[in-house]
Structure 1
């Protein structure tokens, strides 16, 4: 008996699953081994267990921390020596001709690159050397002067701000048209270096326009992208071959309709004379029947932003409010606010809170410009072609849309991760629809949320109907586990919630396997979709219309989806032809009609990206 008790104590000490003995016996036996106490009354054993738990409970509970934001480190500018080009010889194509061929203007000019350096990203410098070693001719110079190609490229690079870049990053001094005709040495030296600077800046533009200036993975652990690989040597070859270098450079930017809409919006914002922002005091919160000095600003904002139909329907209300001059929030004004909320896809509760004020006050022109520029940068991280069929989730808009052939086929509200459990920004492919799903509880939820309850009540998961299995796949009971030995990396069991009415995932989930364990799913908590701000999940994406989204990605009907769910058992169905899904973060994003919507920076990521762009600009200017 003594040996069996010692063995049982060892099992508990490593946080493993207890044998088949009842928990009371197992724990009282553990105390007898630890404290050398003999078997006493049930009441005495109970007090021992309670004291033991109290002692263990006083130790800090483990926690699993989520990803964090980083201090951004920009790409480094290097001084790349072009001396290897100064040694280039023009070999004869005929093996029987021993002397090299006569050198032309380009080859004669190469010697002026001895000891000359350009300050560029390393991949730009490598591409320069690779191209000019194999191609002995000017791209940007003709007849001892900058040519039309150079001027076209310079014009595009000078307008880089129009596409969300910075023109100061691509400036090149243009050689003067007049020069000393007798001093060909000085002119060749000037032109060959102009050639190299032009190519370096053109490639820098191609690189930035294609993949963005920022490496998103250096921003935070919430970003997950494979940075685009740009073949700069081929790009320089294309610039040499094209008839319009300006068109080629401009085409390096994303060519999709979203980027075009953002470009149009940016130009309009910068040309706007009138400030669109209406000041409403911060912290304003107005309920029906209350008074507020901000009411006049609220009504003025509705008059400015409301639709023509809304203004007509509430014309008398506007007149009466202006005549009365009161700051009482009357039933008539409540109906006015409710209609405005409906027009703006807000909860029509008549309460003027943070989200409603955001729509009323609008975003300042300067803030809109910043949001559009950041959106352009983020769009460069995504594929140039988002796909004929794809799902786009925009977290700040709390919206998921299935797009087919450039049209929004179905769009719906979503709930995303709360600030402490942020939804990541990444792309993947939808693979599976699962009906009547199990919920495999993530380790972070077990440790951070369930563990404190389990330490107080080990039967907690048993009572709620969760299924636990040990590392050998055997079913175990939560009450037979010593939860005080469980740590952030030592959870001895897998926990899942079986299908059913109370299942956290509802009646279906849409899977695109990824390292973040994020997917789209139904939820029994339907009331959350009525909220304006919907950051409540642990990181996954809850869909307001999961059946509609499942039918869209499968290319089938809602009736078909309902039939699968009605079977009442766990089923999985593969999605034919994997569909791209973009779990994104855009605080400015074009609607289907080309207009741009603006959204609150719910996770504070705009500020981090803006700082990264500023640091990149400072690094480039300091090292140029």
Structure 2
């Protein structure tokens, strides 16, 4: 092979080697470019996620400030290092739900109303977190008045630590009003035990029918509950609770059978048949041996008065008229019943719940004799809240602190 051929082969090998090298170098450059592009994309995604996480955090802090201003404990919604956008938004949604619906009050002994919590509006937490949206969550007048008092006292509390207890009591009531939002009622009855008051509220917080009530005495407490009026009974019987029949009535009946007639009582057997008191061997009876039920006949002297409002609950608690209406004017003691709630304006309350003027003012004075109980159906169940709010606003919007009659706040 001559030199020319060797040169040609060398050149060919060099060209091939160059092409191979160029191929791998090109491939490396392409890969590097793709890697840089992917890294740039990842960095952009990271920056966007970081920006959104910061936005979520800023929004959460802003809503926490608002929640704090309306008496919500926001320590449960604090953030920690490493919390991502989704976790922050979840906290934000939970906080928004509490702002709107509150927490279940700890003193409720019975919950008989079905909750209607709409969580769909928190799907866009940023839209729901706008100040204008937050304000719309609180259309109830007394709630907003109470928020105003809370804000005022918080400023004063900076120089007067003794106000801390008052603020705590206001927070409890603010939470109660938020909790009421879970039931979406156009109208509802609110009995506030410490105030000795009943109000029928409209959706915006207008007081449609305020009145006084007589609730349970301290050793016979009226329980807090959410329930509803099932029906209204005119000329009701009073089916005497067994503990009252045994502890209070039986000793008096044994001492003097005339007590039965004076109180217009009826003795019923296990078949619901009335028994002649003269035929009963009273000496053989005791608190552990009393095979009867005691009922008070209907009429003006009935302890339930002329109207009874049946409430759905297993505790035998209801609203009713009373045969001692003078108690509303002759004494300030509003806590003297066995647990049920005596109402000052039974006719007005019945007509409002029934949605018609079913009873006139003369109904309370006619007092017809030999009347049997008559049950009146209502258009739809009427919500009733029996609450224990020591701090509240009155009809004028003035802040009130009522006596802790059951000593529940100690």
Any unmatched runs of 5+ in structure 1? Answer: 1-103, 110-136, 176-189, 277-363, 608-624
Alpha-carbon spacing, 1:507–1:388, altered in 2? closer, same or farther (3 Å) = same
Q: Encode CA deviations 1:534-578: one digit per residue, 9 max, x unaligned.
A: 100011111222223223323344863635965442322222333
The structure carrying a bigger strand percent of its residues is 2
Alpha-carbon spacing, 1:395–1:255, altered in 2? closer, same or farther (3 Å) = same
Q: Hey, what does 1:508 align to over in structure 2? A: 307
Alpha-carbon spacing, 1:273–1:494, altered in 2? closer, same or farther (3 Å) = closer
Q: Hey, what does 2:226 align to over in structure 1? A: 427
Is 2:193 the partner of 1:395?
A: yes
What is the CA–CA distance in structure 2 between the aligned matches of 1:142 and 1:478, rounded to whole Å?
86
Mapping 1:196-215, distance limit 5 Å: 196-206=86-96, 208-210=98-100, 212-213=102-103
Secondary structure (helix, strand or coil) at the match of 1:515 reads coil
What is the CA–CA distance in structure 1 between the aligned matches of 2:254 and 2:363, rounded to whole Å?
42
Q: 1:542 aligns with which of 330, 334, 342?
A: 342
Alpha-carbon spacing, 1:483–1:393, altered in 2? closer, same or farther (3 Å) = farther
Q: Hey, what does 2:381 align to over in structure 1? A: 578
Mapping 1:115-514, distance limit 5 Å: 142-145=48-51, 146-173=53-80, 190=82, 193-206=83-96, 208-210=98-100, 212-213=102-103, 216=106, 219=107, 222=109, 224=111, 237-239=123-125, 242-243=126-127, 245-247=129-131, 250=134, 255-272=139-156, 365-384=163-182, 387-404=185-202, 406=204, 407-457=206-256, 460-461=259-260, 464-478=263-277, 480-481=280-281, 486-487=286-287, 491-514=290-313
Alpha-carbon spacing, 1:581–1:214, altered in 2? closer, same or farther (3 Å) = closer
Mapping 1:70-89, distance limit 5 Å: none
Alpha-carbon spacing, 1:382–1:606, altered in 2? closer, same or farther (3 Å) = farther
Tell me by how many angstroms 1:529 deviates.
Answer: 1.6
Q: Hey, what does 1:316 align to over in structure 2? A: none
Alpha-carbon spacing, 1:576–1:449, altered in 2? closer, same or farther (3 Å) = same
Tell me by how many angstroms 1:223 deviates.
Answer: 5.0
Secondary structure (helix, strand or coil) at the match of 1:266 reads helix
What is the CA–CA distance in structure 1 between the aligned matches of 2:117 and 2:348, rounded to whole Å?
38
Q: Encode CA deviations 1:53-87: one digit per residue, 9 max, x unaligned.
A: xxxxxxxxxxxxxxxxxxxxxxxxxxxxxxxxxxx
Tell me by how many angstroms 1:486 deviates.
Answer: 4.7
Is the CA contact (8 Å cut-off) linking 2:299 and 2:368 kept in structure 1? no
Secondary structure (helix, strand or coil) at the match of 1:272 reads helix
Mapping 1:511-522, distance limit 5 Å: 511-522=310-321
TM-score (structure 1 length as normaliser): 0.51
Is the CA contact (8 Å cut-off) linking 1:458 and 1:483 kept in structure 2? no
What is the CA–CA distance in structure 1 between the aligned matches of 2:357 and 2:113, rounded to whole Å?
35
What is the CA–CA distance in structure 1 between the aligned matches of 2:169 and 2:334, rounded to whole Å?
21
Is the CA contact (8 Å cut-off) linking 1:497 and 1:503 kept in structure 2? yes
Alpha-carbon spacing, 1:408–1:248, altered in 2? closer, same or farther (3 Å) = closer
Is the CA contact (8 Å cut-off) linking 2:157 and 2:163 kept in structure 1? no
Aligned length: 363
Is the CA contact (8 Å cut-off) linking 2:70 and 2:147 kept in structure 1? yes
Tell me by how many angstroms 1:487 deviates.
Answer: 4.3
Superposed CA RMSD: 3.8
What is the CA–CA distance in structure 1 between the aligned matches of 2:112 and 2:54, rounded to whole Å?
39
Secondary structure (helix, strand or coil) at the match of 1:429 reads strand
What is the CA–CA distance in structure 2 between the aligned matches of 1:524 and 1:376, rounded to whole Å?
36
Is the CA contact (8 Å cut-off) linking 1:408 and 1:592 kept in structure 2? yes
Is the CA contact (8 Å cut-off) linking 1:156 and 1:249 kept in structure 2? no
Q: Hey, what does 1:7 align to over in structure 2? A: none
Is the CA contact (8 Å cut-off) linking 1:399 and 1:412 kept in structure 2? yes
Is the CA contact (8 Å cut-off) linking 2:212 and 2:344 kept in structure 1? yes
Is the CA contact (8 Å cut-off) linking 1:486 and 1:492 kept in structure 2? no
What is the CA–CA distance in structure 1 between the aligned matches of 2:185 and 2:390, rounded to whole Å?
22
Is the CA contact (8 Å cut-off) linking 2:69 and 2:151 kept in structure 1? yes
Secondary structure (helix, strand or coil) at the match of 1:606 reads coil
Secondary structure (helix, strand or coil) at the match of 1:574 reads strand
Secondary structure (helix, strand or coil) at the match of 2:409 reads helix
Rg larger for: 2
What is the CA–CA distance in structure 1 between the aligned matches of 2:111 and 2:250, rounded to whole Å?
29
Is the CA contact (8 Å cut-off) linking 2:56 and 2:85 kept in structure 1? no
Is the CA contact (8 Å cut-off) linking 2:190 and 2:385 kept in structure 1? yes
Q: Encode CA deviations 1:325-357: one digit per residue, 9 max, x unaligned.
A: xxxxxxxxxxxxxxxxxxxxxxxxxxxxxxxxx
Any unmatched runs of 5+ in structure 2? Answer: 1-37
Alpha-carbon spacing, 1:211–1:567, altered in 2? closer, same or farther (3 Å) = same
What is the CA–CA distance in structure 1 between the aligned matches of 2:133 and 2:202, rounded to whole Å?
29
TM-score (structure 2 length as normaliser): 0.74
What is the CA–CA distance in structure 2 between the aligned matches of 1:167 and 1:513, rounded to whole Å?
35
